[in-house]
């Protein structure tokens, strides 16, 4: 029997969930992202032990414990750095980073830029509710300028940050916007993103029903999977900047150089033979 | 001669070289060091720079011997000034006395007042005139010839060293340089210095290595497969050294966007199952502290090498100080037990870093290896150091079984839990910085919190570290014990040995494992003793730490002084003597 003939047991989404019940508020958009992610993983039939799911801190960043994969719930803003170390050391793994808009675009902003620039084969899921949910409702970089909160009673007055624009400018090779209220579209985007070779940003609008109850109406305005992907950054930029934020789908997918582990390519002889060479070089 | 106050039976020779940017003072130093090594001797070389990034004045100090030598010279016996531009900057580093010989190029500036005031013998030579007669030659190579002649170093050793340093630039460069060296060797045949003439060369192979390189080498021997770092003086040379060997041995290096990233990258790689490290200095360590706490809480092996410089803030970034001990001990938030280890000299940097990396793996925790600018950037000619044979492995779970689910943070007798690695079937877990239960799932229960805190402390305190925790040099009938650490050790050791030869009875302890402290052993060693703690910082950080652990008697004293100038044995001796007299 050749390898191809061995019947592969097709995974189901529930195979990827852990027994832990999410701490999220009932109705939180993050639930639907969890579901879509398990569907995408099942669709791709990736072995659970070959997945590394890394997050930071926030409601969204609780995600890893809810999947039965190798997870890492790290510290606020640093998921992409941790994921980059993991991917470089273990190129065989499917590495996914996840977190919120605060985690990824504010405290982790620098890592976001440099992860895009490296274009390592990592999928980055941002569960964007335009608010710091976990710390109970402060404005984030994607919050609209007029939104009133305790911390900014008259709104921030700051125009919101354009994550997809920044990802494009920084060198990410796959850029998409999804909506947690569109599980099918989101599953499709996540499937494509994980399959894509290179850094994939999946920016997902995900309502915070507790601190941004008005976001429950997002489903009325979101346009589902109406975007067509470009491979040309100029055209993608036009589409990204031309959108009012309610369009969904893949904006950009390009075949750009991927930063990969050099571990296997440069080796000549065994590591211990190499160590001998390294030590000999020190001699007077 | 001040250098012989120490009454050692080894031959020693101290040289220094200075010059403004572009004169090639450092090149002369590197070639001399290598040539003297090729002649069969030992030595070390330290550097001092002006504040310019590039092209500023620089100086090197060389200390040669026919036996292994780590201490710096007390004063310069022969100083070569390629020019005198901003020489006053090096007044501290290059002590000149009436027994110094100073050679300079007299076609340029006159020697500054401070050089004349030192009483040194001044010899001005028209080096520029020679350069003009030899096409393509450089003044520093002529000067190198003068120095070689003065110290009795045969020209074929210089040629071999030139070949190694300049060979890449082509054979003509070596030939032209050698012509200049030979011309220089004929300029001043009168040699008042004893030089290398009656030294006994050794035939044993030796290394030409810096402490930072040794530190990297030790980690490689420990199985290092991943490094991530952001450049910072004086630590950058570690990762610069590692870049090639890591690629050769199947490892990876990531240039991080900042230290926050570097530390998290290390945690990610280590979570992936490969021994990992980063290197930095005080300011970078500050940025790493939050993630270091994560490594402790999630029990991820990680080695952080911090090469101390003068602080706080940007301080004196190019010079040495031992003032980041408190940072290494206490910078983490929460109760975050971890290891703090320091090598006592350059010679042992490789073994101590190998040990540190293996301890991080075996104990699944953060190890901070503390060195400093002097230990890191001094270049040494020393005997090769054998790799340690350590059996310190990361414990891994056996294959999953159906009945019991894998508990990542399971309590065990050693308090070390088997750690699964991505790819292992049915042993998935989520590493978490949140307080968790044995299973790894988040928990805010008081019971789980205390249990896991104690587990993480116990695994470090119960571990058997062996006798590598310190270098103890007991002296019979000693009433006095001196405790020191890191780059202060060699100078203190030399002072203590000399005083003991003169009739004193002082025991010496050089601490390597600073946290967790071997408190009981220290109490045993010091309870009947008068104790003096010597360290290079202003606030006596080690002294206060030892007192806080009740590891030394309450009436112990400190001799603490800030950097950047290292302790010198001859300065220490009278101060130790005064202290001893005060105890009687
Ligand atoms: C260093 C640090 N600073 C601040 C915090 C507090 N904090 C926790 S979560 C969070 C914001 C999370 O917002 P976001 O990433 O958008 O996730 P959400 O909760 O909205 O899903 C903040 C500020 C922290 N945990 N660590
Ligand atoms: S606070 Fe908002 S983001 Fe957090 S779980 Fe509740 S609804 Fe979701
Ligand atoms: Mg948010």
Q: Which residue of A has its CA nearest to B34?
A: A284
Say yes or no: B106 and B133 in one domain: yes
Of residues B465 and A1, which shows the higher confidence score?
B465
Residue B221 has pLDDT above 50, yes or no: yes
Q: Domain for residue B133, yes or no?
A: yes
Q: Which of A71, A88, A114 sits opposite B257 (nearest CB)?
A: A114
Total structural domains within chain B:
4
Say yes or no: B222 and B198 in one domain: no
Reference B541, options B480, B456, B483, B465; nearest CA is B483
Q: What is the mean pLDDT of residues B493-501?
A: 97
Fill in the DSSP letter of residue A65.
G
Between A and B, how many CB-CB pairs are < 8 A?
188
Q: Domain for residue B389, yes or no?
A: no
Residue B563 has pLDDT above 70, yes or no: yes
The answer to whether the CB atoms of B272 and A90 lie below 8 A apart is yes
The residue whose CA has the least distance to atom 4 of ligand 1 is A76
Residue A267 banded pLDDT, cuts 50, 70, 90: low
Q: Domain for residue B393, yes or no?
A: no
How far is residue B267's CA from residue A53's CA, in Å, rounded to a whole number? 14
- Helix (H, G, I), strand (E, B), or coil: what is residue B31? helix
Q: Which of A86, A89, A274 sits opposite B249 (nearest CB)?
A: A274
> B38: distance to nearest CA of chain A, Å?
6
The model's pLDDT over A75-100, given as tens digits with 9 standing for 90+, comes to 999 999 999 999 999 999 999 999 99
Which strand ranges, in their side-by-side order, compose the sheet holding A249-253?
A249-253, A174-179, A200-205, A122-128, A94-100, A51-55, A70-73, B430-432
Residue B92 banded pLDDT, cuts 50, 70, 90: confident
Reference B45, options B59, B66, B55; nearest CA is B59
From A30, A32, A57, A105, give the residue whose CB has the most ligand 1 atoms within 8 Å, as the site to mutate. Answer: A57
Q: What is the mean pLDDT of residues A240-259?
A: 97
Given B183, B204, B225, the domain boundary residue is B204
The answer to whether the CB atoms of B221 and A275 lie below 8 A apart is yes
> A156: distance to nearest CA of chain B, Å?
28
Q: Residues lining ligand 1, CB < 6 A? A: A 57-60, 76, 99-103, 127, 129, 131-135, 140
Six-digit token pair at B69? 């030598």
Which chain B residues have a beta carbon less than 8 Å from that of A267?
248-250
What's the A209 CA to ligand 2 centre distance in angstroms? 6
Q: Domain for residue B392, yes or no?
A: no
The mean predicted confidence, pLDDT, of chain B is: 94
Six-digit token pair at A59? 């409601």
The residue whose CA has the least distance to atom 6 of ligand 2 is A25
The answer to whether the CB atoms of B264 and A93 lie below 8 A apart is no
Say yes or no: B330 and B246 in one domain: yes
Atom of ligand 2 nearest to the CA of A137: 1
The percent of residues in chain B predicted with pLDDT above 70, rounded, is 98
Say yes or no: B433 and B473 in one domain: no
Q: Which of B260, B276, B298 sits opposite A81 (nearest CB)?
A: B260
Q: Where are the domains of chain A?
A: 22-259
Say yes or no: B370 and B425 in one domain: no
User: B532 at the A interface (CB within 8 A)?
Assistant: no
Q: Which residues share a beta bridge with B316? A: B310
Q: Report whether residue A51 contacts ligand 2, using a CB cutoff of 6 Å.
A: no
What's the A160 CA to ligand 3 centre distance in angstroms? 13
The lowest-confidence range among A19-28, A76-85, B162-171, B203-212 is: B162-171
User: B349 at the A interface (CB within 8 A)?
Assistant: no
- The CATH number for B183's domain is 3.40.920.10
The pLDDT score that the predictor gives to residue B7 is 53
The model's pLDDT over B24-49, given as tens digits with 9 standing for 90+, comes to 999 999 999 999 999 999 999 998 87
Residue B71, domain extent = 2-204
CATH 3.40.50.620 assigned to domain A22-259? The reply is no
In chain B, residues 554-583 whose CB comes closer than 8 Å to chain A: none
Q: Domain for residue B84, yes or no?
A: yes
Given B170, B204, B238, the domain boundary residue is B204
Q: What is the mean pLDDT of residues B498-515?
A: 97
Dihedral sign computed on CA atoms, order B155, B161, B166, B167: positive
Six-digit token pair at B570? 């001859």
Residue B55 has pLDDT above 80, yes or no: no
Say yes or no: B160 and B20 in one domain: yes
The model's pLDDT over B300-337, given as tens digits with 9 standing for 90+, comes to 999 999 999 999 999 999 899 999 999 999 999 999 99
How far is residue A241's CA from residue A257's CA, in Å, rounded to a whole number? 25
Say yes or no: B289 and B168 in one domain: no
Q: What is the mean pLDDT of residues A47-71?
A: 98
> B474: distance to nearest CA of chain A, Å?
34
Six-digit token pair at B416? 């070390």
The answer to whether the CB atoms of B250 and A275 lie below 8 A apart is no
How far is residue B570's CA from residue B35's CA, in Å, rounded to a whole number? 29
The pLDDT score that the predictor gives to residue A1 is 42
Q: Domain for residue B442, yes or no?
A: yes
Q: What is the mean pLDDT of residues B126-130?
A: 94
How far is residue B77's CA from residue B81's CA, in Å, rounded to a whole number? 13
The pLDDT score that the predictor gives to residue B399 is 83
Atom of ligand 2 nearest to the CA of A25: 6
- Helix (H, G, I), strand (E, B), or coil: what is residue A13? helix
The model's pLDDT over B386-440, given as tens digits with 9 standing for 90+, comes to 999 999 999 999 987 777 789 999 999 999 999 999 999 999 999 999 999 999 9
Residue B231 has pLDDT above 50, yes or no: yes
Say yes or no: B563 and B471 in one domain: yes
Which stretches of A78-212 are assigned E, i.e. beta strand? 94-100, 122-128, 174-179, 200-205
Q: Report whether residue A31 contacts ligand 2, using a CB cutoff of 6 Å.
A: no
The alpha carbons of chain B give a radius of gyration, in whole angstroms, of 26
How far is residue A34's CA from residue A20's CA, in Å, rounded to a whole number? 12
Asked if B335 and B309 count as a contact pair (C-beta separation under 8 A), the reply is no
- Helix (H, G, I), strand (E, B), or coil: what is residue A32? helix
Say yes or no: B187 and B214 in one domain: no
Fill in the DSSP letter of residue A48.
G
Fill in the DSSP letter of residue A105.
I
Among A61, A66, A85, pick the best mutation site for testing chain B contact (most B Cβ within 10 A): A85
Which stretches of chain A are assigned E, i.e. beta strand? 51-55, 70-73, 94-100, 122-128, 174-179, 200-205, 249-253
Say yes or no: B327 and B415 in one domain: no
Write down the pTM of the prediction: 0.96
The pLDDT score that the predictor gives to residue A9 is 75
Residue A2 has pLDDT above 70, yes or no: no
Provide the CA B270 distance to its chain's centre, in angstroms: 25
The mean predicted confidence, pLDDT, of chain A is: 95
- The CATH number for B377's domain is 3.40.50.970
Q: Report whether residue A210 contacts ligand 2, using a CB cutoff of 6 Å.
A: yes
Which chain B residues have a beta carbon less than 8 Å from that of A83?
268
Residue A7 has pLDDT above 80, yes or no: no
Q: Indicate the length of chain B as a whole number.
A: 584
The model's pLDDT over B355-388, given as tens digits with 9 standing for 90+, comes to 999 999 999 999 999 999 999 999 999 999 999 9
Residue B22 banded pLDDT, cuts 50, 70, 90: confident
Asked if B309 and B372 count as a contact pair (C-beta separation under 8 A), the reply is yes
Reference B423, options A243, A91, A111, A161; nearest CA is A91
How far is residue A236's CA from residue A252's CA, in Å, rounded to a whole number? 6
Say yes or no: B499 and B531 in one domain: yes
Say yes or no: B343 and B432 in one domain: no
Q: Which of B245, B250, B442 sits opposite A65 (nearest CB)?
A: B442
CA distances for B539 relative to B289, B340, B487, angstroms: 22, 19, 17
The pLDDT score that the predictor gives to residue A268 is 67
Asked if B213 and B169 count as a contact pair (C-beta separation under 8 A), the reply is no
Residue A262 has pLDDT above 90, yes or no: no
Q: Report whether residue A24 contacts ligand 2, using a CB cutoff of 6 Å.
A: yes
Q: What is the mean pLDDT of residues B166-184?
A: 93
In chain B, residues 271-290 whose CB comes closer than 8 Å to chain A: 271-274, 276, 290
Q: Domain for residue B213, yes or no?
A: yes
How far is residue A77's CA from residue A110's CA, in Å, rounded to a whole number? 9
User: B429 at the A interface (CB within 8 A)?
Assistant: yes
Query: The complex's ipTM?
Result: 0.97
Six-digit token pair at B582? 């005060």
The pLDDT score that the predictor gives to residue A8 is 65
């Amino acid at each position: 029997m050749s390898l191809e003939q061995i019947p592969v047991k097709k995974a189901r989404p529930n195979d990827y969930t852990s027994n832990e019940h999410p701490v999220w508020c009932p109705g939180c958009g993050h639930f639907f992202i969890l579901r879509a992610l398990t569907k995408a993983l099942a669709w791709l039939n990736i072995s659970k032990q070959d997945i590394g799911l890394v997050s930071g801190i926030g409601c969204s960043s609780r995600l890893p414990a809810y999947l039965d994969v190798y997870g890492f719930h790290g510290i606020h803003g640093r998921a992409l750095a941790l994921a980059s170390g993991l991917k470089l050391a273990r190129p065989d793994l499917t590495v996914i980073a996840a977190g919120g808009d605060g985690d990824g675009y504010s405290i982790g902003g620098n890592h976001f830029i440099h992860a895009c620039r490296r274009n390592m084969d990592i999928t980055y899921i941002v569960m964007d509710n335009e608010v710091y949910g976990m710390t109970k409702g402060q404005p984030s970089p994607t919050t609209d300028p007029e939104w009133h909160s305790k911390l900014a009673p008259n709104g921030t007055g700051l125009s919101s940050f354009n994550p997809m624009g920044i990802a494009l400018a920084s060198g990410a090779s796959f850029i998409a916007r999804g909506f947690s209220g569109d599980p099918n579209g989101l599953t499709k985007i996540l499937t494509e993103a994980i399959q894509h070779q290179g850094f994939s940003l999946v920016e997902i609008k995900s309502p915070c029903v507790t601190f941004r109850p008005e976001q429950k109406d997002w489903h009325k305005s979101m346009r589902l999977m109406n975007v067509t992907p470009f491979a040309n950054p100029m055209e993608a930029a036009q589409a990204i900047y031309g959108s009012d934020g309610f369009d969904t789908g893949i904006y950009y997918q390009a075949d750009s150089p991927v930063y990969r582990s050099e571990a296997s390519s440069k080796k000549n002889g065994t590591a211990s033979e190499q160590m001998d060479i390294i030590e000999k070089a020190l001699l007077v | 001669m001040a250098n012989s106050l120490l009454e050692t039976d080894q031959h020693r020779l101290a040289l220094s070289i200075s010059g403004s940017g572009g004169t090639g003072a450092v090149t002369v130093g590197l070639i001399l060091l290598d040539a003297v090594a090729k002649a069969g001797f030992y030595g070390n070389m330290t550097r001092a720079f002006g504040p310019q990034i590039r092209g500023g004045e620089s100086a090197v100090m060389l200390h040669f011997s026919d036996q292994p030598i780590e201490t710096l010279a007390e004063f310069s016996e022969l100083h070569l000034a390629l020019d005198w531009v901003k020489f006053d900057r090096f007044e501290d580093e290059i002590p000149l006395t009436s027994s110094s010989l100073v050679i300079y190029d007299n076609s340029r500036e006159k020697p500054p007042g401070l050089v004349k005031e030192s009483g040194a013998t001044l010899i001005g030579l028209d080096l520029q005139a020679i350069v003009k007669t030899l096409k393509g030659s450089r003044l520093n190579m002529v000067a190198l010839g003068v120095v070689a002649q003065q110290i009795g170093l045969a020209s074929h050793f210089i040629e071999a060293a030139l070949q190694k340093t300049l060979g890449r630039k082509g054979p003509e460069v070596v030939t032209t340089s050698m012509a200049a060296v030979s011309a220089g060797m004929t300029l001043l045949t009168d040699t008042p210095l004893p030089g290398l003439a009656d030294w006994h060369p050794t035939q044993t192979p030796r290394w030409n290595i810096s402490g930072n390189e040794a530190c990297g080498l030790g980690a490689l021997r420990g199985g290092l497969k991943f490094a991530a770092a952001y450049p910072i003086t004086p630590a950058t040379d570690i990762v610069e050294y590692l870049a090639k060997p890591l690629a050769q041995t199947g490892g990876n290096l990531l240039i991080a966007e900042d230290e926050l990233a570097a530390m998290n990258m290390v945690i990610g790689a280590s979570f992936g199952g490969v021994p990992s490290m980063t290197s930095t200095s005080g300011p970078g360590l500050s940025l790493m502290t939050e993630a270091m706490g994560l490594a402790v809480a999630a029990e991820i092996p990680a080695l952080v090498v911090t090469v101390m410089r003068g602080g706080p803030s940007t301080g004196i970034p190019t010079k040495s100080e031992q003032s980041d001990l408190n940072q290494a001990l206490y910078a983490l938030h929460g109760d975050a037990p971890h290891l703090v280890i320091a090598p006592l000299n350059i010679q042992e940097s490789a073994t101590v870093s190998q040990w540190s990396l293996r301890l991080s793996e075996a104990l699944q925790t953060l190890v901070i290896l503390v060195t400093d600018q002097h230990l890191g950037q001094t270049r040494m000619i020393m005997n090769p150091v054998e790799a340690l044979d350590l059996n310190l492995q990361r414990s891994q779970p056996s294959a999953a079984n159906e009945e019991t689910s894998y508990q990542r943070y399971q309590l065990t007798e050693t308090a070390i839990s088997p750690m699964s690695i991505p790819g292992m079937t049915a042993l998935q877990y989520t590493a978490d910085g949140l307080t968790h239960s044995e299973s790894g799932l988040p928990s805010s229960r008081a019971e789980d919190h205390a249990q896991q805190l104690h587990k993480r402390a116990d695994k470090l305190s119960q571990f058997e570290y062996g006798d590598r925790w310190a270098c103890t040099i007991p002296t019979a009938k000693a009433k006095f014990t001196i405790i020191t650490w890191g780059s202060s050790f060699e100078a203190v050791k030399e002072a203590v040995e000399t005083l003991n030869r003169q009739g004193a009875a002082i025991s010496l302890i050089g601490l390597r494992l600073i946290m967790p402290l071997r408190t009981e052993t220290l109490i045993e060693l010091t309870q009947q003793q008068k104790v003096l703690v010597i360290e290079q910082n202003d606030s006596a950080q080690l002294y206060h730490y030892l007192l806080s652990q009740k590891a030394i008697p309450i009436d112990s004293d400190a001799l603490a002084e800030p950097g950047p100038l290292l302790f010198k044995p001859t300065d220490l001796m009278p101060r130790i003597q005064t202290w001893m007299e005060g105890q009687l």
